[in-house]
Amino acid sequence: MHRGLQNTVLAQVLGGVRLLLAVITVVLVILAFLRVGYREAVRIVGPDDSEAVELVLMHWSGGGGQEEDDIVQASIVEFEQRNPNIKVKRINPGDSGQYFTKLQTMMAAGEPPDIFYMDFARMAPFAEAGQLEELDDYFAAESDPNAVDPLVLDEFFAPAVDAFRLQNGKMGIGPLFGVPKDFTTVGIYWNRDLFDQAGAQHPTPDWTWDDFVAAGRKLHALEGITGAELVTWPFVLRGYLWSRGASVVNDQGDFENLTLSAPESLQALQDLRDWRFGQDAFLARSEAEGIDPGSLFLSGRIGMVGPFGRWVVPSYRSIEDFSWDFAPLPQGESRANVLATIAWSMSSKSKHPEASWKLLKWLTGEQSQSVQSGLGLAIPTLKSVAQSDAFLNGSLAPANDQGFLDAIDVARVPPWPVDPAFQDQFQRTLDVALRTGGDVDTQVEQFTSWWTNRQQSPLAPTRSFPRMPWGMVAIVFCGILASFLVWQWVSLTKSRSPSALTRQEERAGWLMVLPWLLGFVLFMLGPIVLSLLLSLARWKGIDTLGTAEFVGLGNYREILGADPTFWQSLKVTVYYAVLSVPLGQGFALLAAVILNAKLRGVEAFRAAWYLPSVLAGVGMAVLWTWVFRSEGGLMNSIVGPVLQPFGLEPPDWFQSDAAWAGAPAFSIMNLWLVGGSMLIYLAGLRNIPGDVLEAADIDGARPLSRFVRVTLPMLSPVILFNGIMAIIGSFQVFTQAFVMTGGGPGDDTRFYVLYLYNQAFDWYEMGYGSALAWLLLVVVLLLTVLVLRVGGSKVHYEGMRG
């Protein structure tokens, strides 16, 4: 009796708790919906004038790291103090790569930040998409005599300002889409101590490329010293070509007819290749692979590095072991230089343009630039700040700060076409010659041919298509959904449930599964269907879905019939899968067999084997980058002595030998990540009945025979499962290649998913990327079915014997 009373009281208490939790949940859900509804209403209608305006600002930290982040935050705090009716929400996603992915996502959602960083090299696609506010009218208003703290455009360095002008697809002219916050010219950083030791002539303001080569060869002759390192980044390469009297395009910036095949351009590129791979080479060949080229200078074992801008100065100021300085870009047929710059841009969709302009003025004003210049990362864009002690600080290295300013007179901003693929393909194609020793003429011809074909493609950016019929899509979707609901209702009605209790259980079941069903439809099935629809469209992903254009099967025709990079990425991925799947699974099974032994402390070894598979992918990729360095890397230190007796050299894994050695290197790296498969194999081994193994021992089976004839057949379901999962995983390689090689050199390590990422997030071809994703699904599905058909008959299932 007493126990029954206790149970009754306990049931009532638990019922009350459940009711309370249910009420709290309902209230929280209602409040969440009300908050979202209020926010959307404010966004559409606009806030009350008496309320404070909230602006969203987004930036990245760059080379300034936490210090730059703190400076931006301090500037915002002071701005808010001066403007109490304006509040600023600051977003810093991290590095520039994460930043532009975040920016693209916010713009696609129709919620772009009000003020944000804009790289001059990426400006054109955003301006063409109508995402950037034209600022000329704002500057015109600043000329009003009554303007408070006017921002005068003529007080900025003109080349930096012109970098953010665009008209009819041409940079440098037309409306202004950003106010440059800082910029830099480029040049060569040189080790004064090594120059003196080698007896090389110090760089002068008018030194030439011949002087550079002579100094580099003298430095290279020193024991253990590399002469120089020249980076081949696209905008830097454009400046080098200008200094040699060559160019990629004509003076009018006409990208329809390239001049890269002109004799002076070919000769300049051939010289650059020979300085690295010729008979008297003095440039670093492999030292820069996988690491920041600027950090090479810190070791004191290289004479010159560049062309770099001011961004390396903060790290170089920590050098204590040798003296260094800055020299302008060497001149050839003419003096030339190149600008790199970042601007604060304003969203054309900002709800508060006046407040946004006020914030932009503050961030690019004299006070903000003076504080920012203290980092040493760049040149202030205001002439008054650049020529003041805020920048020209004689007490800090480099001594030749003036050299950055002197180069402005001959510096130009390299124009790029609106199509972002041009810049990426320009680098990856020429790097085959300049970084791995390929033929210059062949690579230039390949790039020129690629660009011509892209301009003539049915999907060329200059061609227009009808808008995606989203209204019809919505009607069809609602029709399908309504039909499904009617079908379910009819089915339930016809079932004629025998009792009220059964009907109540059915309703309860649907209610219980409803949250999961809604989540599945909204967050899984919805995006899957959307990606399928986008594969039939051309959409940049930097504007709302309403701007998508319907191209039908055009993306698929382009991929299968006119995209050599698709086939190359598929070949690289298949090559990797053929190596990594059997090697990785064999290694995982071997580890499981070893760790299945009954030894003291074996659990610790199992944990150690499993741990790498859950560590951060980026950190592990950086670690393996050093392992596979061709000079001084751990792998070649092991392989080199083995190959030496045969007269062979270890491979240059990710540079000149990447075409055949890149995929094997990633396959070896994959062995580090077999912990998950090892645990599954270990579970399978532990599930094999001990009496079966004992019976094999009694029958006289040797260990190897028992493993082949007993263990493997009973483990075959696990092997099939792990094999299928490994095949799927091998077609999804991304992080390692993205961090370690970026897909290069050329396309030698461009895995399929990395190419998909390039299309969707680097080239802003989200529709094309969606088509690639669906083709990947088809390929993986076919391979899975093939494995099941071929391997299914070989699998031993315990419950199917007899």
Res 13 pLDDT > 90: no
- Rounded distance, CA 96 to CA 617, Å? 19
The residue that leads in pLDDT, 438 or 250, is 438
Whether 53-181+343-375 and 187-338 share one fold: the answer is: yes
Res 313 pLDDT > 60: yes
Res 802 pLDDT > 50: no
Q: Which CATH architecture has domain 187-338?
A: 3-Layer(aba) Sandwich (3.40)
Res 714 pLDDT > 80: yes
What are the residue boundaries of the structural domains of the chain, listed by start? Answer: 53-181+343-375, 187-338, 470-534, 558-796
Containing 20, the helix (H) or strand (E) segment is helix 2-45
- DSSP assignment, residue 616? -
- DSSP letters of 645-694? GGT-----TTTTTHHHHHHHHHHHHHGGGTHHHHHHHHHHHHHS-HHHHH
**Phi, psi (deg, nearest 5) at residue 47:** -75, 160
pLDDT in tens, 24-81: 877 877 777 777 666 656 555 555 545 689 999 999 987 767 888 898 999 999 999 9
**Mean pLDDT lowest for which of 212-226, 341-355, 681-695?**
681-695
Q: What is the pLDDT of residue 289?
A: 47
Q: Which long-range contacts link 107-110 to residues 24+ away (Cβ below 8 Å)? A: 107/131, 107/542, 107/543, 108/541, 108/542, 108/543, 108/544, 108/545, 109/544, 110/349, 110/544
Res 407 pLDDT > 80: yes
Output the six-digit token pair for 151: 């921002």
First to last CA, the chain: 55
Q: Are strands 170-176 and 115-119 parallel, antiparallel or unpaired?
A: unpaired
The residue that leads in pLDDT, 257 or 35, is 257
pLDDT in tens, 516-561: 888 888 888 889 999 999 999 999 999 889 999 999 999 999 999 9
Q: Residues 387-402: what's their mean pLDDT? A: 89
The residue that leads in pLDDT, 755 or 17, is 755
Output the six-digit token pair for 301: 């074992």
- Rounded distance, CA 585 to CA 582, Å? 5
At position 638, the amino acid (one-letter code) is: I
Output the six-digit token pair for 738: 């993205």
Three-state SS across 91-137?
A: ECCCCHHHHHHHHHHHHHCCCCCCEEEEEHHHHHHHHHCCCECCCHH
Please compute Rg for the chain using Cα positions: 32
- Rounded distance, CA 331 to CA 677, Å? 58
User: What is 558-796's CATH number, 3.40.50.2000, 3.40.50.280, 1.10.3720.10, 1.10.10.10?
Assistant: 1.10.3720.10
Res 288 pLDDT > 50: no
Q: Are strands 226-230 and 187-191 parallel, antiparallel or unpaired?
A: unpaired
pLDDT in tens, 425-456: 999 999 999 988 999 999 999 999 999 999 99
Cα–Cα nearest to 239, from 412, 59, 466: 412
Res 290 pLDDT > 70: no
- Rounded distance, CA 447 to CA 431, Å? 11
* Lookup result for tokens 């599905």: 781
Give whole-number Cα distances, 249 to 51, 255, 340, 531, 571, in Å.
52, 6, 19, 37, 33
- Rounded distance, CA 754 to CA 742, Å? 8
Q: What is the pLDDT of residue 104?
A: 93
Q: Are strands 324-328 and 549-550 parallel, antiparallel or unpaired?
A: unpaired
The pTM (predicted TM-score) of the whole model is 0.87
For domain 53-181+343-375, the CATH class is alpha beta
Cα–Cα nearest to 191, from 224, 226, 221, 232: 226
Q: Residues 208-232: what's their mean pLDDT? A: 96
> At 604, is the secondary structure helix, strand, or coil?
helix
Query: Is 787 in contact with 723 (CB distance < 8 Å)?
Result: yes
Q: Are strands 549-550 and 537-538 parallel, antiparallel or unpaired?
A: antiparallel
Helix axes of 366-373 and 65-82: crossing angle, nearest 10 degrees: 160
Output the six-digit token pair for 636: 């070649």
Q: What is the pLDDT of residue 747?
A: 93
> At 550, is the secondary structure helix, strand, or coil?
strand
Give whole-number Cα distances, 147 to 81, 139, 153, 270, in Å.
20, 11, 14, 55
Taking the CB of residue 602, how many other CB atoms lie within 10 A of it? Answer: 13
Q: What is the pLDDT of residue 699?
A: 79
- Rounded distance, CA 93 to CA 87, Å? 20
Mean pLDDT of the chain: 89
